[in-house]
Amino acid sequence: MSLIKKSDANPASVTLWHPNFRNFERLPDTKVVRTTFFVNVTSIAIAASLLILVGMREYRILDLKGQIDTAKSEIAKATKDNAEALRLSKIFETEGKKIIEANNFTKRAMAPSAFVLLLGKTLLKEVQIESVDLRFSGASGDQCVLRGIVAGSKDTASGAADKYVGILRNSPLIGSKFESVNMPSINPDPAGGFMRFEIVLKFKPAGKETKS
């Protein structure tokens, strides 16, 4: 017995074995928090986030539309006000020019009423003045343009117009304020029976007028 080895007295333990018939796919989930819970929560969170983003986007679009409509209204009002301001400014400019022209003409020591009266006295019976245009563009470019008609045939009307120009040139008052009197154009009127003329009276430079 003493010859028996110690290792023979304690044989190695034999590993127990049995077949594993468990179907892991069908076994219930025994976790404290199931995996499906996390999947559902994540899906809900994503859906909620997308819903919030869509809502914010729609709100932003509506807000931008409101701002655009407000801007359009303001632009329309500003455009209307600007058009009215331009219209009034144009009227003011036109009237201002008339006042300046009248003031400059008065400074020429000849009242407009006196000038009109003079034209009336110098008119021939065949001549009719339709407009008097005063142009003040500078000391050397100020002038008065008379436009009118002369009755009669072409030769008769032309002769009457030339005679009227001579009357203006020989007028002492006209000669004291204007350095030249010319008729640059005289043409038949399309309606016939008379001629249309234009007479230009050029003012003398400031300081060279003579008292009548």
Residues 6 or more apart whose Cβ sits within 8 Å of residue 149:
127, 128, 130, 189, 194, 195, 196, 197
Least confident of 25-39, 138-152, 167-181: 25-39
Mean pLDDT of 6-15: 52
CATH superfamily of 111-203: Ribosomal protein S6/Translation elongation factor EF1B (3.30.70.60)
Mean pLDDT of 107-125: 76
Q: Indicate if the pLDDT at residue 2 is higher than 80.
A: no
Mean pLDDT of 184-204: 87
Q: Indicate if the pLDDT at residue 198 is higher than 90.
A: yes
**pLDDT at residue number 1:** 46
Q: Indicate if the pLDDT at residue 29 is higher than 70.
A: no
Cα separation, 134 vs 102, whole angstroms: 8
Least confident of 52-56, 131-135, 180-184: 131-135
pLDDT band at residue 119, thresholds of 50, 70 and 90? confident
pLDDT band at residue 30, thresholds of 50, 70 and 90? low
Distances (CA, A) of 115 to 17, 41, 97, 126, 182: 140, 101, 19, 20, 17
Average pLDDT score, the chain: 78
Cα separation, 143 vs 203, whole angstroms: 5
186 forms beta bridges with: 197
Percent of the chain with pLDDT strictly greater than 90: 13
Q: In 10 A of CB 182, how many CB atoms?
A: 14
Greater confidence (77 vs 11) lies with: 77
Q: Indicate if the pLDDT at residue 102 is higher than 80.
A: no
Cα separation, 135 vs 124, whole angstroms: 25
Q: Indicate if the pLDDT at residue 11 is higher than 80.
A: no
pLDDT band at residue 135, thresholds of 50, 70 and 90? confident
Domain range annotation of the chain = 31-107, 111-203
Residue matched to tokens 């809900």: 44
pLDDT band at residue 67, thresholds of 50, 70 and 90? confident
Q: Strand 143-151 vs strand 194-203: parallel, antiparallel, or unpaired? A: antiparallel
Cα separation, 35 vs 197, whole angstroms: 107
Cα separation, 139 vs 204, whole angstroms: 8
